[in-house]
A and B are shown apart, each in its own frame.
Chain A
């Protein structure tokens, strides 16, 4: 056998080329494995970040629709505005996944149409309990774009990593669906943007 050790006094034991190559291959495999496991961990963390961001976005959207619906049914607004707002808020809450982005964008447009003028907001504030409702609405329309930005940022990071060769070749993403950004019109009404009395 070529691998038999030589006698003492021959100096340092020289490994036969095959064994040395084998060891190097094993080391390389181990390093690659660790690297892939680390990358998989990264990806896993990104996916859970997307889940958390999506849940947060969902919570903010539902909250916004609820406040809008409450205001629509409160009797503070004129009948036409009430109907427009109620319709949009209702549609946003009931929309299924495919229609969600469109429905939420339409709610943004309805909110902009109804609360486009500062006077309308003043009227809401003057109604009993209106101050609290106005505050909730302001918070909601400000947080939706925030939550959406955080969500889409997480999606972008995950997509960047998933497009990488190592992830595609070794199928590190498993069966997780390719993450999609949430695209919608989330521009808040102008009257709610400035908060001089904050």
Chain B
């Protein structure tokens, strides 16, 4: 099958959607499909052979933050050329409702179009104003995919229609087989932090329930680090050996400002870490805490943590509750409630059996998010959509273009 995938965000900026598309494209290529990804990228950035640049994305203020988007005449021309050269059996557009490549591709294409809605943005005023235009473009989509039941609900409310739910994929084995790093594991229960840590290097860590992991932007309050910081004094009062490992970029001094000075040494900042180190960190910690306060439509990090066998404690956001199977595969605490977070964390750290149980449940639960399952489901969608069209419909855009050419002239 010839598959064209449209990525709305800059390929050179790391992000969830980009990673999803990269993994999806590589999965299909391994299966022997022909895949081309159209993505915004600087012309001089090195791209994998299957990525076609749609030009540089322009930073513009959109929806309350600065987004890097592609639009305008040049981008539209590149989209049309890509569609023409590709002669795809199906195109898969990501985030078709954001004013970027996805929407442009929707305009310019005809034939079997599949779209994935990742974020669940609250309805913006711009979207209401553009509703008629948006609707005309979105009604060309033959199949819609939402990444979670929550994302599907917002999609139905804001745009009408329906979607199938296919979660984001994770390479489960990559996380499950990562090597734990002793310095990120529990110190073995001796107490004194520095000595404990150095002794671990020789002796190997025994899992005593002392390390908590957090991965995410430090300076993004919605990732919830402030909530965790508020809960930390209580956790440390009961279990002084506990260490918090924080991976992610942001101002470290600012993050620990609210913490009493004597406790600050219990927080270790690892900065930005590679994918390999992320997997090893998740393999090493005794508890992964996701205190996000909102803005999540899926929660891929929870799936990654479960893949690595880390017991998960997460805020009870809709999306998180769904990924954690309503609390069966990981524990939930009341969103933004530092007290509840501290209590739950203490209970879990002191209960090795419960953690082992969560680890086992999580590892079994997470299989449905593995690429082998998710990729097969997405392929089923492609096949369902292309089945229906009498012939393999390529993107013949002439009718549409001619009409617009006329309308503009």
For the complex, give the distance between the alpha carbons of A86 and B277 in Å.
55
* Interface status of B29 (Cβ within 8 A of chain A): no
**Interface pair B384/A45, CB less than 8 Å apart:** no
Q: Which of B143, B164, B384, B400 contacts A41 (CB 8 A)?
A: B400
- Are B163 and A153 in contact (CB-based, < 8 A)? yes
CB-CB under 8 A from A37, the residues of chain B are: 403
In the complex, what's the smallest C-beta–C-beta distance from A5 to chain B, in angstroms? 29
How many Å lie between the Cα of A156 and that of B380 in the bound state? 22
- Would A56 and B163 count as touching, CB distance under 8 A? no
Are B389's CB and A52's CB within 8 A? Answer: yes
A154:B403 contact, CB within 8 angstroms: no
Looking at chain A's contact residues, the main secondary structure is helix
Extra inter-chain contacts (13) besides given A146-B143, A146-B384, A161-B139, CB under 8 Å? A38-B407, A46-B139, A51-B388, A52-B388, A142-B377, A146-B380, A150-B142, A150-B144, A153-B144, A154-B142, A157-B161, A198-B370, A198-B372
Q: Which of A52, A55, A198 contacts B376 (CB 8 A)?
A: A198
Cα distance A161–B135 in the bound complex, in angstroms: 10
Interfacial chain A residues near B389, Cβ < 8 Å: 52
CB nearest neighbor in A for B389? A52
Residue A64 at the chain B interface, CB threshold 8 Å: no
Any chain A CB within 8 A of the CB of B14? Answer: no
Which residues in window 135-182 of B have CB below 8 A to A? Answer: 135-136, 139-140, 142-144, 160-164
Q: Is the CB of B139 within 8 A of A56?
A: no
Instruction: List CB contacts (< 8 Å) of A86-145 with chain B.
Output: 139, 142-143, 145
- Identify which of residues 351-408 in chain B touch chain A, using a CB-to-CB cut-off of 8 Å: 364, 367-368, 370, 372-373, 376-377, 380-381, 383-385, 387-390, 399-400, 403, 406-407
Tell whether, in the assembled complex, residue B388 and residue A59 are in contact, meaning their CB atoms are under 8 Å apart: yes
- The answer to whether A42 and B139 touch across the interface, beta carbons within 8 angstroms, is yes
- What is the total number of residues of chain A having a CB less than 8 Å from a CB of chain B? 36
- Measured in the bound complex, the distance between the Cα atoms of B399 and A41 in whole Å is 9
With the chains together, A56 CA to B139 CA distance in Å? 18
Residue A23 is within 8 A (CB to CB) of chain B in the complex: no
7 shortest A-B CB distances, which residue pairs?
A56-B388, A52-B388, A157-B139, A153-B161, A55-B388, A56-B387, A198-B373
A-B contact pairs, 28 of them (CB 8 A): A34-B406, A34-B407, A41-B399, A42-B139, A45-B110, A45-B139, A52-B142, A52-B388, A54-B388, A55-B387, A55-B388, A55-B390, A139-B380, A142-B380, A143-B383, A145-B164, A146-B380, A150-B142, A150-B144, A150-B385, A153-B143, A153-B161, A153-B163, A154-B142, A157-B160, A196-B364, A196-B367, A198-B372
A160 in the interface (beta carbon within 8 A): yes
Q: Which residues of B contact A55 (CB under 8 A)?
A: 387-388, 390
Interface string of A53-70 (1 = CB under 8 A from B): 111110110000000000
What residues make up the interface of B, taking CB atoms closer than 8 Å to A? 110, 112, 135-136, 139-140, 142-144, 160-164, 364, 367-368, 370, 372-373, 376-377, 380-381, 383-385, 387-390, 399-400, 403, 406-407
Q: Which of A34, A49, A55 has the most CB of B within 10 A?
A: A49
Q: Does A6 contact B (CB under 8 A)?
A: no
A192 CB-CB contact with B under 8 Å: no
Residues of chain A contacted by B135 (CB below 8 angstroms)? 157, 160
Is residue A195 contacting chain B, with contact meaning CB distance below 8 A?
A: yes
Say yes or no: A143-B388 contact (C-beta < 8 A), given A150-B142, A160-B160: no
* A155 to B261 alpha-carbon distance, docked (Å): 62
Q: Which residues of A contact B383 (CB under 8 A)?
A: 143
